[in-house]
């Protein structure tokens, strides 16, 4: 029973020993970081444009793996080559307008390849 009395004395309110200011609970707010890069929805038109631009910027900056660059050259370069061959065989030079879309993608791939090679050279220098 003496053990039980000892526990009760611990929980008694002794105003002269404990100040109320010593005990406080700080609860942090649930605010989100203002630096989060919110990825927009690809289902609305402006979000789709933003996501495409973000992908092409990443591609053109050279920060992507080599296998993506090589597969891009194979797929889009093959499509552009096929279009050029079709225009030459048909002798319809108005069909060169069809090269606008794959030409734009090849330009982005060219920039990405140059940036990737430049990054590789700069890593060797250091």
- Each residue's pLDDT expressed in tens, for the chain with a length of 126 residues: 455 555 555 556 555 555 556 666 777 777 766 656 676 777 778 888 888 887 777 777 777 788 888 898 999 888 888 888 888 888 887 777 877 877 888 888 888 888 888 876 666 655
What is the pLDDT at residue 95?
A: 76
What is the pLDDT at residue 11?
A: 58
What is the pLDDT at residue 26?
A: 72
CA torsion, ordered 100, 105, 109, 112, to nearest 10 deg: 110
What is the pLDDT at residue 74?
A: 92
Is pTM beyond 0.85 here? no
Q: Which of 62, 56, 54 is nearest to 76 (CA)?
A: 56
Distance of CA 41 to the CA centre of its chain: 14
User: Using CB atoms within 10 A of its CB, is residue 111 exposed (0-12), middle (13-18) or buried (19+)?
Assistant: middle
What is the pLDDT at residue 92?
A: 80
């Amino acid at each position: 029973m003496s053990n039980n009395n000892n526990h009760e004395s611990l929980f008694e309110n002794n105003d002269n020993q404990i100040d109320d200011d010593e005990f406080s609970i700080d609860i942090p707010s649930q605010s989100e970081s203002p630096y989060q890069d919110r990825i927009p929805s690809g289902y609305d038109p402006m979000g789709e444009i933003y996501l495409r631009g973000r992908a092409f910027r990443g591609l053109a900056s050279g920060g992507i793996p080599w296998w993506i660059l090589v597969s891009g050259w194979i797929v889009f370069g093959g499509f552009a080559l096929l279009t050029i061959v079709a225009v030459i065989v048909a002798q319809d030079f108005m069909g060169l307008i069809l090269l606008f879309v794959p030409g734009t993608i090849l330009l982005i791939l060219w920039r990405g390849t140059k940036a990737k090679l430049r990054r590789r050279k700069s890593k060797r220098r250091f």
